Structure 1
Amino acid sequence: MHNVDIDLVEMSLDVIKYAISRISDTDPQLGFPRKAEELKALVGDTVTPKGIGGEKAFALFKDVLVKASVPIDHPRHLAFVPASPTRAAVMFDLVTSATSVHGAFWLEGAGCIFAENQAMEWLVSLTGMPAGAFGVFTSGGTEANLSAMVTAREYWRDSEEGNSKTRGIVIASNGAHSSIRAMAKVIDADVLLIETESRLESSHLAETLARMSAEDRARVFAVIATAGTTNAGIIDDLAGIATICKSEEIWFHVDAAYGGGALAARSVRHLFNGIEQADSVTIDPHKWLFSPYDCGAIIYRDPELAKKAHAQEGSYLDIFSDEGAKGFNPSDYQIQLTRRVRGLPLWFSLATHGTDRYEKAIERGIELAQIAGRLISEFEHTELVREPSLSCVLYRRKGGESAD
């Protein structure tokens, strides 16, 4: 399976040819999902004792499987949170896999981690967090939020002896991402969702804390604000919430998984004022920073707190802490030990195009949302649900019902 022969060379050429064609295609086939029974009838059994051969497997992928999938970068993919990775980033994703570098420890991946860290430095600079703040690339916002909350919980537990035996509480708004509740299950915490029609205001948080019993208030270890809600692009009152969290000594986390890309856009940067006061920030480059899936990021105000919470120990890991292996180990700052150097495609894209072009592209996305909003308002059969925020445009047909 590891021999280099003519069959491998020919298959490699076929794969590269397909990749080049797909990367350079400005109008790829949209595709559509099919039922498992249909696919089974078309594909049959592919994992067999003798195998079906690379040529046949690749043909099935091109002719059947990929056509039963929806590419997230398609110009007409407007559902959910689409992505639009640059061609440079997609190309380097191929290089990243081919290079086969383990990105957990500096001892193994120093050069690639160094490149990742240069991209991370740019992300940190966008937040305006103070010197010393830093982070790591994750699989996405869910892992980033989980890593941040594990760090927050451990910090809270260490702050008072009794907290180690207490089930903590995380406060967020009802507009917070679904991963917040999923994350809370993993760390055995309760989630208190503040109901709000729009953004989470500092007054909402203050009122919620004031209504809590002394016992429950003592269980609150983190407040999560959202900088760009999934459905509407709403940005919470970051500055006001930060002030309360500082006063109440509560960990302040900002989930900017979607909206964080807009930190690079000067026209809306003021909407994020207060994010620089966060203890941790989630940003997903695979959402609005033109990186392919999967590439999220978690940034900490004090990375040493994250290291204390996440660094793993074992006799087989001792060598990575030896004097000769000193360097930045990404695995020390998030829940995963094994990790690919998933920040490399973003680094290559940034190095190729420069941050000015990133800013221009993000500004254009915001501008297009405003244009779409005006057109919808002018059309006699549609109306805006709310003014466009970031790149989100919410509208409905006039006279329609929710069931429609």
Structure 2
Amino acid sequence: MTVHQFTDETQALAAEILRYSEERLRMDPVPLDSPLTRAELDDVAGAAIQSEGRGGLAALDLFAQKLAPACLSIDHPRYLSFIPCAPTREAAMFDLVVGASSIYAGSWLEGSGAVYAENQALRWIADLAGLPAEAGGSFVQGGTIGNLSALVAARTTAREVAERAGTGARPYRIAATVGSHSSIATACRVMDADEVQVPVNDRMQLTGERLREVLLENGPETFFAVVATAGSTNFGIIDDLESIADVCEEFGIWFHVDGAYGGAGLAAPSVREKYVGVERADSFIVDPHKWLFAPFDCCALLYRDPNLARVAHTQHATYLDVLNDSPEWNPTDYSVGLTRRARGLPFWFSLVANGTDAYTQAIEHTLDVTRFAQAEVERRDYVEVVRDADLSVLVFRRLGWKSEDYHAWSDQLLADQTGFVVPTSHDGETLARFAIVNPLTTEDDIRILLDSMA
């Protein structure tokens, strides 16, 4: 078997992979590219896997020439759909190092250096949020797993409290809003829990006043968590975290803050006051692969009291005794996963290489571009803002357009390789939406996209 040996062919492949990677990192701007149909991909790559291998160089050429152009470049400066991902060059390059290093980062025993570095990056985020010195957690795949893990810890804690109190209560509900991320509903289905939606205020925010009414109406003892959002994906809304924290403290309910997209704004002084109350969260998530310039997949999951999460998540098996009997920090004790790569290392490397001031400057730049975009919409007579931007998401309407007009415009942008901006909807109305998290997005990019709607 030569598969695991370093041969002359391996040497040539390594050189070509490094050349390809360097060329991709040098591109400015990157190509937007576009998807192909299943039939088109079958034609060019349907017979790729065979009993006799093609060789590494041929496989790389197939990917580079046929498959990569069928993948949208999410780091393109006019990719403003969903929540884009724009990793720093340092983070993207270090992802190669992580892949080549064969690090298992699930336990301190096997990956102490990597775990130590990841914990440094987690500590920076915890400090931004104002969480206590003992706060900690793990990097997980994404916000869906982060939210699920936090809610599992919340339910385990609430049920143990209820059992000790001997009340007979068995908490099975969470409180959230219609603006909560779809992963909250998914977590409830996985956990066989009930989601109770709290009406929002006229700013589309969850507030402590509305939350308290719903808890009293349904019985606060039946709830094990409240989920607040620090930057909703559709509008970028930050809930009234301080008043929510007050109500959670009043009733002794776990306070979880989903900052998967918007939590990065904690690094920006211009919007920091919008997050008052996040420091009181029992758990908090933010995805560095969104607005903190890390590559996929990377979600920072933090707990105020990590011991509660460890009780909920530690897996027990005889072959794991050597890990579970150790007092050291094992990242797998804090989420629903066991096997894990060192997904936080590229983010850590970029923080070390660039410094945290560069992160603040980059985030502030995207906020400035968003403010410019709102001002541009407000000065044009054919578009109007739906809601003022809290962070770096702007939702607006093109006056006189129907749903099919938005979709035709979006399709034409992609066909022309001008940009990728898919419509969204709210209250049954199709709308336009910019999600600006790439520091390379400029005011000129915004002008080009808005001009195309004229």
Provide TM-score, normalisation by structure 2. Answer: 0.85
Once the two structures are superposed, residues 330-370 of structure 1 have per-residue CA deviations (whole angstroms, 9 ceiling, x without a partner) of 01111111000111001100000100111111111111100
What amino acid sits opposite 1:2 in the alignment? H
The corresponding residue for 2:108 is 106
Deviation at 1:167, TM superposition (A): 6.3
Matches for 1:105-144 after TM superposition, within 5 Å: 105-144=107-146
Give the CA deviation at 1:164: 8.8
Q: Following the alignment from structure 2 to structure 1, what is the Cα–Cα distance between the partners of residues 82 and 144?
A: 16
AA at the equivalent of 1:172: A
Q: 1: CA distance between counterparts of 2:167 and 2:49?
A: 50
Q: Distance in 2 between matches of 1:276 and 1:67?
A: 43
- Give the Cα–Cα distance (whole angstroms) in 2 for the partners of residues 29 and 84 of structure 1: 14
Give the letter for the 1:299 counterpart.
L
How far apart are the structure 2 equivalents of 1:237 and 1:251? Answer: 16
Residue 401 of structure 2 is matched in structure 1 by 400
Could you give the per-residue CA deviations for residues 56-76 of structure 1, whole angstroms, max 9, x where no partner exists?
Answer: 211110111000010111112
1:129, CA displacement in angstroms?
1.3
For the aligned residue pairs, the C-alpha RMSD in angstroms reads: 1.5
2:107, 2:330 within 8 Å by CA — same for their partners in 1?
yes
Aligned equivalent of 2:291: 288
Aligned to 2:210: 204
How many Å separate the matches in 1 of 2:285 and 2:314? 19
| C-alpha distance 164-18 of structure 1, shift in aligned 2 (>3 A) | farther
Counterpart of 1:80 (choices 67, 79, 82) is 82
SS at match of 2:30: coil
- Tell me if the contact between 2:384 and 2:396 (Cα under 8 Å) persists in the aligned partners: yes
Letter in 2 for 1:17: R
- Are the aligned partners of 1:228 and 1:234 in contact in 2 as well (CA < 8 Å)? yes
Kept after mapping to 2: 8 A contact 1:158/1:164: no
Task: Report the secondary structure of 2:6's partner residue.
Answer: coil
Quote how far apart the aligned CAs of 1:401 are. Answer: 3.9
Shift of 1:276: 0.4
Alignment map for 1:215-226 (pairs within 5 Å): 217-226=220-229
- Native 8 Å contact 1:225 1:238 kept in 2: yes
Aligned to 2:385: 384
Match of 1:29 in 2: 31
**AA matched with 2:371:** Q
Q: Does 1:191 find its partner at 2:195?
A: yes
TM-superposed CA distance for 1:90, in Å, is 0.2
- Alpha-carbon separation, structure 2, partners of 1:62 and 1:37: 19
**Which residue identity is paired with 2:282?**
D
Question: 1: CA distance between counterparts of 2:171 and 2:256?
Answer: 19
Residues 403/37 of structure 1: CA separation in 2 closer, same or farther (3 Å cut): closer
Q: Which amino acid letter does the alignment assign opposite residue 35 of structure 1?
A: T
Aligned residues: 399
Does 1:316 pair with 2:319? yes
Query: In structure 2, what is the equivalent of residue 263 of structure 1?
Result: 266
Query: Equivalent residues in 2 for 1:2-401 (5 A)?
Result: 2-161=4-163, 166=170, 168-196=172-200, 198-212=204-218, 214=219, 217-322=220-325, 326-401=327-402
Deviation per CA, 1:160-198, whole angstroms, max 9, x where unpaired? Answer: 237898460011010000000001111110111123351
> Alpha-carbon deviation of 1:131?
2.3
Identical columns (%)? 44
Give, in angstroms, the shift of residue 400 of structure 1: 3.0
CA contact (8 A) 2:75 2:85 kept: yes
2:156 is paired with a residue whose SS is helix
State the TM-score, normalizing by the size of structure 1: 0.96
Which stretches in structure 2 are left out of the alignment for 5+ residues? 406-454
Question: What is the CA deviation profile of residues 207-247 of structure 1, one whole-angstrom value per residue up to 9, with x for unaligned ones?
Answer: 212322x4xx3211110000000011100010000000000
Q: Distance in 1 between matches of 2:199 and 2:67?
A: 42
Distance 1:163 1:31, change over 3 A: farther
Contact 1:157 1:164 in 2 (8 A): no
* Other structure's SS at 1:252 match: strand
Aligned pair in 2 of structure 1 residues 132, 64: CA closer, same or farther (>3 Å)?
A: same
Q: Distance in 2 between matches of 1:44 and 1:294?
A: 27
- Check conservation: 1:199, 1:236, Cα contact below 8 A: yes
Residue 68 of structure 2: SS of its match in structure 1? helix
Output one character per residue of 1:125-151: Cα deviation in whole Å (capped at 9) or x when no partner: 011012211121111111110110000
Which has the larger displacement, 189-198 or 143-152? 189-198
Long gaps (5+) in structure 1 = none
Q: Judging changes above 3 Å, is the alpha-carbon distance between structure 1 residues 164 and 72 closer, same or farther for their aligned structure 2 residues? A: farther
